[in-house]
Amino acid sequence: MKHPILIHPDPRLKKTCVPVADLSDKLRILADDMLETMYAAPGIGLAAPQIGIMQRLIVLDCEKEEGSSGKPLVMFNPEILASSEETNVYEEGCLSIPEQFAEVTRPKVVDVRWIDRDGNEQSETFDGLWATCVQHEIDHLDGKLFIDYLKPLKRQMITRKMQKLKRERARG
Ligand code: K2U
Ligand code: ZN
């Protein structure tokens, strides 16, 4: 099922999430719900705190080739083991900060280790949009948003726009 996505500012988006202790069918169903929510947004990544679940779980699918069946990844307890010196600039957005975009500089290549939905440890090197996305999602697990990389004035401007959006949505 689709879950509502929390909108910034929200204290749950600033908290550090707890590691997943034991995999369960409940957590596997949650991962499937997160993929459904992500595709419907549409988005290419989603972190559990964005739907109010304060656990270290992210999903991503950055396969953008038309017609490709997509390559959904489910990552429990993802960790960045190494990052390249070389950086990449990407105009990022966030499903929790709708319609706002800004350039963010991040390492171009990252080595990531995680536990997959079958409970097996995986590790892979990501480059390009996959690298940007997996770093954006892991930041969410540590309560970090892409606007935290911006100058204070720009961040405040975006936060004020989101507060206005939330007031309007509350009025229905
Ligand atoms: O975590 C999220 O909010 C989903 C993000 C993931 C993302 C942000 C920036 C750069 C890469 C991934 C996006 O809202 S998904 C929307 C999107 C779609 C295509 C390209 C970039 C962002
Ligand atoms: Zn985001």
**What are the domain boundaries of the chain?**
11-171
Instruction: Tell me which residue has its CA closest to atom 15 in ligand 1.
Output: 43
Q: Residue 121 Cα, ligand 2 centroid: separation in angstroms?
A: 25
With cut-offs at 50, 70 and 90, classify the pLDDT of residue 62. Answer: very high
Atom index in ligand 1 nearest the CA of residue 42 equals 16
User: Which residues, in sequence order, are CB contacts of 157 under 8 Å at separation 6+?
Assistant: none
Residues with CB under 6 A from ligand 1: 43-47, 90, 92-96, 132-133, 136-137, 140
Q: Exposed, middle or buried: residue 118 (CB in 10 Å: 0-12, 13-18, 19+)?
A: exposed
10-38 confidence digits (pLDDT tens): 999 999 999 999 999 999 999 999 999 99
Enzyme catalytic residues: 137
Q: Which listed ligand is nearest to 13 at the C-alpha? A: 2
Indicate the CATH number for domain 11-171: 3.90.45.10
Q: Where are the beta strands (DSSP E) in 71-172?
A: 73-83, 87-92, 102-107, 109-115, 121-127
Residue 74's pLDDT is 98
Poorest-pLDDT segment among 62-76, 105-119, 136-150: 62-76
CA distance linking residue 96 with residue 46, whole number of Å:
10
Amino acid, single-letter form, for residue 161: K
